């Protein structure tokens, strides 16, 4: 296995199709092929054709990455916190300086509109900023607990840790983990989504430029076999996973059984409850943005509108706004062909079961493009037991469920197995409080369509949207990637001062 040249930056600055070099593994500071030599194509979903290729790794590659991370660990752990965090400060400057490249690369591999890509990278930078402030926040308490006896706590790294991330936020989701992981003094093996591996590759290159020593951050590309090897590897102490509920459950169960600390974030079915007194313009435009941004491929996207009482005027406005959207400009593409087929099946099935298709995105195309498209879709008269009413569709489809009362709407939200996000749209403070106290969701909003907590508030859902304890970002993230050492010291050397004196 030989080292390859460092990849060139990506040069596209518009949506025109452009190829990129192979995405290799990044181990010990070098770009290397998978042991098997196997690769698969990386598709540009807006154009529907391969823009490059990615290495497909197995257990031997994971072994190699863990060995590099293990070798780098003592040096990184011994580097003072103040110096570790300087890498993050430099990384922030580098991400800002390379914003155009990072955002256009993101649009090419993921299919987001460019403004959406800018939003994602800026949010990733906000996560870095949170990491930069950690040294000011993580000093553990110490106390003289009795005469001459002092107790203190320090938060120490775990060792080699790993992260597995999904396709829908190629730059931001790795940054949910890396700042806390690195500031804490751990070394890391990242497994990006094989559908969008380039964002992580460029992050690793920028981290190297920012002064991160070789081996502290390693990337193993691939799919299920690479993840299984990470889950089983005895050299990995903790694993963060973000993806579908089906895989999150497996990774959580197997990783925990293998003795690892695991936090697995899964899928979602988010309910937005609209009360009759909701502000018309704010509600219609916020619901539109929530269900169509990133073509609905967000774990925080609106999926169900719980329409309480007479909110027909809001639905009418939403229909009008949805029809006015220009595919390819206001909304990006779907990640791949099978996803378009899955979304289409949900809409076909809902229609057969009696739902009314108010806005129909099936078969939508962008002229001159062979990409994967699906237009904004509004389904009315959906019932909670229809698959479109209770399963994750992961596309730009909003299912409207009509409800007579707030309590009926809350009961529908509560019955969902998921628990990522829920929001209430109202101008009445009492209604807002009544609903937000009763939602079965980890991230709730009042007049907010995508209630992602801003840093330093941590990100994480409940129920089938998250497996494991705590949240993935903020201080919870720091706690997850560290272990507390409690120290009890005697500073009065006399025989009559005891541990309890």
Catalytic member of 299, 390, 403, 435: 299
Under 8 Å between Cβ of 135 and 85: yes
Q: Which tokens belong to 400?
A: 């409207």
Residue 247 found at the interface with ligand NAD (CB under 6 A): yes
Applying CB under 6 A, among 110, 171, 420, 426 the residue interacting with ligand NAD is 420
Closest CA to 396 of 486, 467, 472, 328: 328
Q: 366 CB contacts (<8 Å, ≥6 apart)? A: 46, 327, 328, 333, 373
Instruction: Show contacts with ligand NAD in window 330-389 (CB under 6 A).
Output: none
Residue 243 phi/psi, 5-degree rounding, is 175, -150
3-class secondary structure, 498: coil
Q: Which is nearer to ligand NAD, 155 or 457 (CB)?
A: 457
Burial category of 4 from C-beta neighbours within 10 Å (exposed 0-12, middle 13-18, buried 19 and up): middle
Answer for the pair 298, 443: CB distance below 8 angstroms, yes or no: no
Query: What is the closest distance, in whole angstroms, from the C-beta atom of residue 343 to ligand NAD in the complex?
Result: 13
Helix (H) / strand (E) containing 35: none
Give the shortest CB-336-to-ligand NAD separation in angstroms. Answer: 9
Q: Which stretch binds ligand NAD (CB under 6 A): 41-49, 97-105, 146-154, 219-227?
A: 219-227
**What minimum distance in Å lies between the beta carbon of 361 and ligand NAD?**
19
Q: How far is the CB of 267 from ligand NAD (least distance, A)?
A: 3
Scan residues 265-294 and list those touching ligand NAD (CB under 6 A). 265-268
Under rule CB under 6 A, residue 465 binds ligand NAD? yes
Is 127 one of the catalytic residues? no
Report the C-alpha gap between 210 and 472 in whole angstroms.
Answer: 24
Q: Phi and psi for 194 in degrees, rounded to 5?
A: -65, -15
Residue nearest to ligand NAD (CB): 243
Nearer to ligand NAD, 168 or 186 (CB): 168
DSSP state of 30: E
Specify the stretch interacting with ligand NAD by CB under 6 A; choose among 70-78, 116-124, 260-268, 479-487.
260-268
What phi, psi does 242 have (nearest 5°)? Answer: -135, 125
CA–CA gap between residue 293 and residue 298 (Å, rounded): 8
Q: Is the dihedral of CA 101, 106, 109, 113 positive or negative?
A: negative
Q: How far is the CB of 456 from ligand NAD (least distance, A)?
A: 17
Q: Which of 193, 292, 303, 482 binds ligand NAD (CB under 6 A)?
A: 193
Residue of 15, 26, 73, 167 that binds ligand NAD (CB under 6 A): 167
Choose which of 34, 220, 295, 299 interacts with ligand NAD (CB under 6 A).
299
Residues recognised as catalytic: 299
Residues near ligand NAD (CB under 6 A): 164-169, 191, 193-194, 223-224, 227, 242-244, 247, 250, 265-268, 299, 392, 394, 420, 461, 465
């Amino acid at each position: 296995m030989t080292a390859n040249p460092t990849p060139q930056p990506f040069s596209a600055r518009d949506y025109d199709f452009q190829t990129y070099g192979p995405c290799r593994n990044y181990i010990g500071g070098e770009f290397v092929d998978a042991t098997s030599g196997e690769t698969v194509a990386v598709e540009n979903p807006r154009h529907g054709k391969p823009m490059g290729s990615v290495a497909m790794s197995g257990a031997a590659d994971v072994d190699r990455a863990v060995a590099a991370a293990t070798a780098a660990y003592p040096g990184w752990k011994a580097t003072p916190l103040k110096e570790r965090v300087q890498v993050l400060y430099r990384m922030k400057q580098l991400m800002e300086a390379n914003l155009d490249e990072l955002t256009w690369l993101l649009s090419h591999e993921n299919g987001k509109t460019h403004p959406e890509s800018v939003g994602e990278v800026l949010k990733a930078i906000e996560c870095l900023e949170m990491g930069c402030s950690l040294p000011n926040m993580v000093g553990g308490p110490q106390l003289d607990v009795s005469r001459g006896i002092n107790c203190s706590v320090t938060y120490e790294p775990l060792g080699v840790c790993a992260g597995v991330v999904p396709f829908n936020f190629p730059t931001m989701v790795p940054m949910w983990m890396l700042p806390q992981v690195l500031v804490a003094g751990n070394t890391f093996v990242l497994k990006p989504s094989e559908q969008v591996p380039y964002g992580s590759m460029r992050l690793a290159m920028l981290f190297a430029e920012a002064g991160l020593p070789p081996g502290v951050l390693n990337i193993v590309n691939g799919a299920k076999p690479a993840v299984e090897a990470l889950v089983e590897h005895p050299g990995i102490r903790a694993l963060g996973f973000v993806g579908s509920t089906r895989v999150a459950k497996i990774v959580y169960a197997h990783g925990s059984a293998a003795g690892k600390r695991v936090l697995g974030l899964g899928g979602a079915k988010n309910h937005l409850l609209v009360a009759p007194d909701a502000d018309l313009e704010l509600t219609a435009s916020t619901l539109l943005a929530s269900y169509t941004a990133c073509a609905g491929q967000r774990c925080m996207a609106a999926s169900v509108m719980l329409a309480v009482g007479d909110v027909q005027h809001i639905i009418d406005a939403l229909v009008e706004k949805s029809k006015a959207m220009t595919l390819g400009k206001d909304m990006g593409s779907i990640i791949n062909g099978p996803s378009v087929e899955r979304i289409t099946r949900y809409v076909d099935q809902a229609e057969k079961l009696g739902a009314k298709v108010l806005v129909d995105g099936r078969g939508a195309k962008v002229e001159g493009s062979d990409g994967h498209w699906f237009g904004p879709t509004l389904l009315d008269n959906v019932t909670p037991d229809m698959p479109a009413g209770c399963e994750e569709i992961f596309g730009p489809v909003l299912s409207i469920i009509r409800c007579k009362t707030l309590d009926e709407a809350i009961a529908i939200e509560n019955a969902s197995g998921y628990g990522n996000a829920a929001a209430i749209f109202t101008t009445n403070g009492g209604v807002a409080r009544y609903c937000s106290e009763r939602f079965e969701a980890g991230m709730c909003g009042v007049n907010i369509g995508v209630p992602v907590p801003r840093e330093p508030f941590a990100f994480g859902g409940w129920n089938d949207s998250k497996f494991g304890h705590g949240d993935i970002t903020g201080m919870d993230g720091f706690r997850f990637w560290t272990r507390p050492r409690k120290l009890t010291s005697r500073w009065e050397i006399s025989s009559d001062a005891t541990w309890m004196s």
